Structure 1
Amino acid sequence: MTHMTNPLATVDQLYQRTSFSALPSDLQDAIFFATQRLTQAAGILLRLPQSVTAQANVVLARYWLVESPLSYEFSDTSAAALFLVAKLGAHPCLPRDVCNVYAYLLSPNSVLFKGGGDIHGKDKEGPSPSNLPGIPYASFQSRIMALEARILYSLSFNTHVALPHPLAITYLQALDFLGLPRAEIAGRAVAYLNTALLSPQLLYLTHQPHALAVAAIYSAARDAGAKMPTCAWWEVFDVDREELGFLVVGMRSLEGWVRTQLEDDGVLTKGMVTRAYVEGEMRKRGLRIGNGSAGAGEDEMEDEETALMRQMDEKAAQLDE
């Protein structure tokens, strides 16, 4: 059964996430949502299966549990996670393709951050990605490769992700109470599961796939007006009422949160959130930027290396004596 479950976030990890670099919760939520949406869009343009993109979303979220989001540029982290997961599966991507797609999505011509439009554009083949010239491409590729290794190291090379999408379809086949075509309910349930990937509540890191699948089915059936039995049918799938209620609220609340952000001229209206923007916003608020930035992380790494080399020199000197 281990292939159907995921390693969940611990209380300490969730607490550590809230304390990284004294990052305000509104900025942290905006960073997470914008970066996960960027990952989804890149997966579409790279013609990757949704299963691959969803796994990249989860891997990225896990990585940010153990390392500050401010350690690297958010778009670079997204690209590295997607490139890594695709390479480990049956749909590897060329580094040039990944770089070109992200160059387009982050460009002024991108439809992703203009508040409307279809990511595929008018053409069925999708918009033409930008073609990065040599030097920017080499720089982007080197950052992605370094970040790929960093993600693997931070996650102890555990990139296993069990998705709830297949379980939702399987559970639907066992349910006869919906009174509507299963395809309609299945489509709505999968949409809820894909939306939950973008939720700053980290639903995929705090709940197992079977619970997410049941919550998506419940929400989909409710939206479609399907008649549900009065008994606690979700307990058949090992989900209690409290967990189901939390997940249903979490899945259905994301749309309202995004709408509020857009109406209030929030961070999401500024385009893709960048590390420079977040650091500038923190300075405006009078908040100290912690050691989560890339520069500080590199200095800390250099200090550790210096200390290790000093210890080795001291031990060598003792042996010589």
Structure 2
Amino acid sequence: MSVDLYPLASLEQIENTPSKSDGIPAWVEEDLRGYGCKLIAEAGVLLNQKQVAVATAQIIFQRFWFVTSVKQFGIGDIGMGALYLASKLQECPVRMRDLINVYDVLLQRTAHKRKALASGDLRPPELKYAPMSYFGNTFYDLKDALVVSEMQILKRLGFNVNVVLPYGTLVNYLRLLGLTGRDDVCQRAWGYLNDALQTPVYALYAVPTIISAAILLATRNFDIALPSKPPHCWWTLFDAEWEDIWSVSGYIMRLYRPRTLEEQLLPMGMISKRDVRKWLEDNEAS
């Protein structure tokens, strides 16, 4: 496959993202991106949506933040718009009302969980969901946000929403390495590819590199040795560079790091652009 198939961020976009230009630290932006992708995944489960649509939405979501700041658009709105657009691209469209209702549930659940964590309640009471009023403004506000988000994604990405998913290629690579007989390795590598969707790697590296990182992590988990001495390095079969594979592996493994209470609460309280701007004002004042 040609690398031209993968729309990737430029070096300038990587070094100086729009969010960084607006004074948002890299670690905050990374956490917000990751949490936005989690909301997309949870919405996909509640909607019984296909995995290809959810994965496409997460990749488009990550790309968007290389051209726009989280200060300008909320991760909740853009996540909703990305999932709506991806569902059309993968020919498994969802009803707008269903998507809006699901995101309303997720936003209430997030607020409920954040309140419980902040109060130190390890066993919070079950969320009592309050449905939107039929004649209230909440539904129409979310509907407007969904329409605007989809339009802005298309506009700012220049309608370049082509996405190459890694799953079929992973199977071919595992077959070439003689690993298809190990169900545990296949499942672990597949899981790493899914987890990587919470990181920006799909907008930074070509798919063969990301797949190679997933295989590296999976085989090391199960102490499986692969040829790694030049000139017989297994990753050269896939035109991947070791430094890039190691970098992608680092992105994935950072997802599993222990998080402080403050780190857990931060993205939950910055889902809208209003929340992000308030956080910026508070930190500038301090």
Q: Which whole-Å CA distance do the structure 1 matches of 2:128 and 2:170 have between them?
A: 34
Provide Cα deviations, 1:16-66, integer angstroms capped at 9, x if missing partner.
415331212232122111111111111111111222111111111111111
Tell me the secondary structure at the aligned position of residue 28 of structure 1: helix
Alpha-carbon distance, 1:129 to partner = 8.0
Quick check: 1:155 aligned with 2:157?
Answer: yes
Provide Cα deviations, 1:143-186, integer angstroms capped at 9, x if missing partner.
2112211111111111101022221111111112x5x8432111
- Do 1:211 and 1:243's aligned partners in 2 also have CA atoms closer than 8 Å? yes
Residue 234 of structure 2 aligns with which residue?
A: 233
After superposition, the Cα gap between the structure-2 partners of 1:239 and 1:152, relative to the gap in structure 1 and judged at 3 Å, is: same
Q: Cα RMSD (Å) of the superposition?
A: 2.9
Residue 281 of structure 1 aligns with which residue?
A: 279
Alpha-carbon distance, 1:230 to partner = 4.0
Residue 169 of structure 1 aligns with which residue?
A: 171
After superposition, the Cα gap between the structure-2 partners of 1:250 and 1:273, relative to the gap in structure 1 and judged at 3 Å, is: same
Count of paired positions = 272
Select between 95-104 and 36-45 the one with higher mean Cα deviation.
36-45
Q: Which whole-Å CA distance do the structure 2 matches of 1:250 and 1:160 have between them?
A: 23
- Do 1:106 and 1:272's aligned partners in 2 also have CA atoms closer than 8 Å? no
Larger gyration radius, structure 1 or structure 2:
1
Provide Cα deviations, 1:293-314, integer angstroms capped at 9, x if missing partner.
xxxxxxxxxxxxxxxxxxxxxx
Q: Percent identity?
A: 25
> Where do residues 265-276 of structure 1 align in structure 2 (5 Å cutoff)?
265-266=262-263, 268=265, 271-274=268-271, 275-276=273-274
Residue 46 of structure 2 aligns with which residue?
A: 45
- Do 1:104 and 1:110's aligned partners in 2 also have CA atoms closer than 8 Å? no
After superposition, the Cα gap between the structure-2 partners of 1:244 and 1:15, relative to the gap in structure 1 and judged at 3 Å, is: closer
Letter in 2 for 1:105: L
Residue 58 of structure 2 aligns with which residue?
A: 57
- Do 2:190 and 2:214's aligned partners in 1 also have CA atoms closer than 8 Å? yes
- Do 1:3 and 1:162's aligned partners in 2 also have CA atoms closer than 8 Å? no
- Do 2:43 and 2:106's aligned partners in 1 also have CA atoms closer than 8 Å? yes
Tell me the secondary structure at the aligned position of residue 207 of structure 1: coil
Alpha-carbon distance, 1:111 to partner = 8.3
Q: Which whole-Å CA distance do the structure 2 matches of 1:101 and 1:76 have between them?
A: 12
After superposition, the Cα gap between the structure-2 partners of 1:190 and 1:4, relative to the gap in structure 1 and judged at 3 Å, is: farther
Q: Which whole-Å CA distance do the structure 1 matches of 2:236 and 2:9 have between them?
A: 23
- Do 1:267 and 1:273's aligned partners in 2 also have CA atoms closer than 8 Å? no
After superposition, the Cα gap between the structure-2 partners of 1:270 and 1:29, relative to the gap in structure 1 and judged at 3 Å, is: closer
Letter in 2 for 1:84: L
Select between 36-45 and 275-284 the one with higher mean Cα deviation.
275-284
Tell me the secondary structure at the aligned position of residue 91 of structure 1: coil
Letter in 2 for 1:20: S
Letter in 2 for 1:282: L
- Do 1:210 and 1:237's aligned partners in 2 also have CA atoms closer than 8 Å? yes
Q: Which whole-Å CA distance do the structure 2 matches of 1:169 and 1:4 have between them?
A: 22
Residue 244 of structure 2 aligns with which residue?
A: 243
The correspondence for 1:212, drawn from 210, 213, 216, is: 210
Residue 184 of structure 2 aligns with which residue?
A: 184
Quick check: 1:82 aligned with 2:79?
Answer: no
Provide Cα deviations, 1:77-120, integer angstroms capped at 9, x if missing partner.
110110011022221000011001001111148887678x9xxx
Alpha-carbon distance, 1:227 to partner = 3.1
Alpha-carbon distance, 1:282 to partner = 1.8
Tell me the secondary structure at the aligned position of residue 107 of structure 1: helix
Q: Which whole-Å CA distance do the structure 1 matches of 2:159 and 2:149 have between them?
A: 13
- Do 2:31 and 2:267's aligned partners in 1 also have CA atoms closer than 8 Å? no
- Do 1:32 and 1:198's aligned partners in 2 also have CA atoms closer than 8 Å? yes
With structure 1 as the length reference, what TM-score do the two structures score? 0.76
After superposition, the Cα gap between the structure-2 partners of 1:33 and 1:272, relative to the gap in structure 1 and judged at 3 Å, is: farther
Q: Which whole-Å CA distance do the structure 2 matches of 1:170 and 1:273 have between them?
A: 40
Alpha-carbon distance, 1:2 to partner = 5.1
Q: Which whole-Å CA distance do the structure 2 matches of 1:210 and 1:196 have between them?
A: 13
Letter in 1 for 2:187: G
Q: Which whole-Å CA distance do the structure 1 matches of 2:97 and 2:3 have between them?
A: 32
Select between 266-275 and 23-32 the one with higher mean Cα deviation.
266-275
- Do 1:100 and 1:129's aligned partners in 2 also have CA atoms closer than 8 Å? no
Residue 194 of structure 1 aligns with which residue?
A: 194
Gaps of 5+ in 2: none
Letter in 1 for 2:177: L
